[in-house]
Structures are given as structure tokens and as C-alpha cells.
Amino acid sequence: MSDRNYLDWPFLEPRHKELALALDDWASQNVPHAHGKDVDADCRALVKSLGAAGWLRHAVGGGHGAAPAIDTRAICLVRETLARHSGLADFAFAMQGLGSGAISLQGTAGQKQRYLPQVASGESIAAFALSEPEAGSDVAAMQCSAHIEGDHAVLNGEKTWISNGGIADFYVVFARTGEAPGARGISAFIVDAGTPGFEIAERIEVIAPHPLARLRFSDCRVPLSQRIGEAGEGFKVAMRTLDVFRTSVAAAALGFARRALDEALQRATTRRMFNQVLADFQLTQAKLAQMATTIDGAALLVYRAAWQRDQGRSVTREAAMAKLTATEGAQQVIDAAVQLFGGLGVVSGQPVETLYRDIRALRIYEGASEVQQLIIARELLKD
């Protein structure tokens, strides 16, 4: 296993190190790298076991249970550790956090009480529904609408690319309520699965399988008590949530990259060719050195951003730097690992092959790499 010296970095506290080591032990015994063909069943089972073992408490903040607030460093360490073991386990944890994050950060006491304990125990599955067919990177182009009728909001429109779509028990849905044009006229609502007028329009298959769907709302009536935050403040709610979870996407990429380096080291030191092992060649050593350096650079940015957020400081630029560097770097590290494995690297089910598919979407979702570059440049030029 790759060295764990980074757990002693000053960004982290002793409790973080204990958490990472304990979770690593647990995951070694409870989380296989490969999963079966039924992603829905696998995901449900992972959420249940992560909840029963107490790990999901770290995905949930807002004064629930033992977690006084969202601890970004804990979320990052959990994601990094789970990603090293299984992309699907990381996904199951991450979506409980992203799906309930708006409630943790800005929900009413009643909403927190109703939803968070069940998310933390793994009895309820959460989803975050922001993207639409015509509004991905350009979130403010959102068309899904909610008009107010008495004490209800009536939702009409579509959402797409919604992780946990089809298995979630509730969805945090962002819809245009029209208080102002563009980003200032959006509100967030909690929509329970099974609400009349809400349906799964299509399931979407992707290269790293996980539950994903397009959602449709047709005169779907949601009580106004299900609105998170003030009317017209939904865009801010979404951005505050993403500020936490964007850094954690970087942490997941870091976990994938660490696993790829572990696999590459193991293979390079045992694969014999030309009367020596692969690791004896300087060309291989250069590759391994680059992989390790890319990983440490990304880790420094991830834990700097997580630490800074836990200090209560803005992390817009730091989170974007972490996500950009960690996801792009992990793609390179994993590609190098596949190359070191030769033909074995592209055999279905090999850990490096799975990683090769697992990493790809992280460079696209929660803000594509180009969007992160623009955020960093905007912050620089503002200064």
C-alpha cells in the first residue's frame, strides 16, 4: 500500500488519521474492488453497510448526531480511502453527502430532523438534481420551473444525469421560481420519491456503472415546507453545497490514483522481462516517479482546500485548483498504470482497467476541468 505519511500533514488532526486508518481496515474486509451486474442492488447494499458501520455520519452535518458541522477533511479522507477500495463504495458515500448537503447546510430544523438521521444510518438514499439536458455547465440556463399555488410549489420540467436516480428516496431539486432573471430566480425543493407527477423518464448506462437517470416532473406538487433556504436563493444553496463536495471529488480522484500507483508498483517489481524486472528499467522508474509526484501535488491541494474550508474561509479558488489538478493528474497516473500492465491492463475486471473507466467522469461532473480553469482565472483576475 502507498505510504500514509500524508496523514501526519499539518492540515489534518489526529482524529482524521484515526478515521482514515480505521476506515481502511474496515474497507479491506467489507468492500470488494469489483461489484456484480446489478448496480442498484450493490449500491443499496453499500449504503446500508456504510450506514450500519457509522461511516455515513461523516457525509452529514448540520447539527445532526455526533457531527456538529460538515467536516470537509473527514469527507475527503473517507472518499479517498473508499475510492482506493471501490469506485462504487465511494459513489455510495459521496451521494449521501451531496444529496443531503443542502439540507445539512441550509435546511430547517424540521427538514434536518426528518431526513438527516436516515441518510446517516443508510436507511434513506439521497440525490442531487441540478443538471438538465440544456443546462449542464451553464446552470443558470435551467428551465425546470416551479410556480407557487397556495402552500405548494408545482414543478414542471426535466433533470438529467442524476446520480442515484431510480433508487433515491428523496431528491433535492433545483427549479426556476422566477424571483429574478438567471441564477437569482432559482429555488431548491426536497421531492420525495413517489410524489405524484414525478417519474424516472430514462435510466442512463455509463462506462463506470452506477444508478443514473433522467427525471421528469409534470405538475408535481410539493409543499412549500419542503423548500430549502429562501425563495430565489437556490443557486446559492447549490454553490455552497458544491463548494464542499467539489474538493471531495478531487479526494476521490486521489484515491483512484493511489490505488493505480499501488497496482503499478506491485506489477513493476514482479513482472520479469529481459532478465530483470520491469522496475529495473529507468524508463519505468521515471514513470513511477512522475506518478508519485503527481499524487503528492494533488494531495497537497486537496487537503489545503479541505483545511481552509474547515477554517470557515472561502475556498472557491482552492477547491477548483484541487479538482482540476487531482482529476487530470489521476487520469494520467491511471493511464501510466495501464501501460505498465501491458495487455493485462485492458482486461475487463483488472483493477487498473476499472480505474481507467472510474476516473473519466470526474473530469466532467461538478464542473468540468475547463470550468475549473475559468473559476481559477476569474478569482486571480479579481485579486
Active site residues: 366
C-alpha distances (whole Å) from 114 to each of 29, 109, 190, 233, 303 are: 32, 9, 11, 22, 32
For residues 205 and 261, give the distance between their C-alpha atoms in angstroms, rounded to a whole number. 28
Task: State in angstroms the smallest separation of the CB of 360 from ligand FAD.
Answer: 9
Q: What minimum distance in Å lies between the beta carbon of 185 and ligand FAD?
A: 18
User: Does the footprint of ligand FAD cover residue 129 (CB under 6 A)?
Assistant: yes
What is the distance between the alpha carbons of residues 308 and 29, in angstroms, rounded to a whole number? 33
Answer yes or no whether residue 94 interacts with ligand FAD by CB under 6 A: no
Q: Which stretch binds ligand FAD (CB under 6 A): 67-75, 78-86, 310-318, 362-370?
A: 362-370
Report in angstroms the alpha-carbon separations of 337 from 261, 293, 359. Answer: 7, 14, 13
Answer yes or no whether residue 115 interacts with ligand FAD by CB under 6 A.
Answer: no
Q: Does 327 bind ligand FAD (CB under 6 A)?
A: no
b/e string for 275-300 if b means 16 or more Cβ within 10 A?
Answer: eeebbeeeebeebbeebbebbeebbe
Query: Rounded CA gap, 193 and 173, in Å?
Result: 12
Q: Residue 370 interacts with ligand FAD (CB under 6 A)?
A: yes
Residue 361 binding ligand FAD, by CB under 6 A: yes
The binder of ligand FAD chosen from 28, 137, 266, 269 (CB under 6 A): 137
Rounded least distance, CB 368 to ligand FAD, Å: 3
Identified binder of ligand FAD from the candidate list 104, 106, 131, 195, rule CB under 6 A: 131
> By CB neighbour count within 10 A (0-12 exposed, 13-18 middle, 19+ buried), where does 145 fall?
middle
State which residue, 126 or 261, has the beta carbon closest to ligand FAD.
Answer: 126
Point out which residues bind ligand FAD (CB under 6 A). Answer: 128-131, 136-137, 161-163, 206, 212, 361, 364-366, 368, 370-371, 374
